[in-house]
Structure 1
């Protein structure tokens, strides 16, 4: 039986971003998460990972 899946992939602003940009990012992300019916949070933190 088919199911609907919503995947939200984001790249967060770095520490070099200004406060307004960071705040806008989190407000937009929260609105998107709030609009998603069921939530199973997964994360993959690659902070400081060399390219």
Structure 2
């Protein structure tokens, strides 16, 4: 089981990867938390249980 810190790191790394897209802006507009961001069905590679 990965620790929480590592999961958050992966989320931040993914966020940085898409930071130049409007998709990230839309997520912030929707006021999603980091936890919810990692659970979004569209991000299957980030489907974590925080």
TM-score (norm 1): 0.38
TM-score (norm 2): 0.39
Question: Looking at CA atoms only, which structure, 1 or 2, has the larger radius of gyration?
Answer: 1
Q: Which has the higher contact order (CA 8 A, sep 6+)?
A: 2
> Greater share of helix residues, 1 or 2?
2
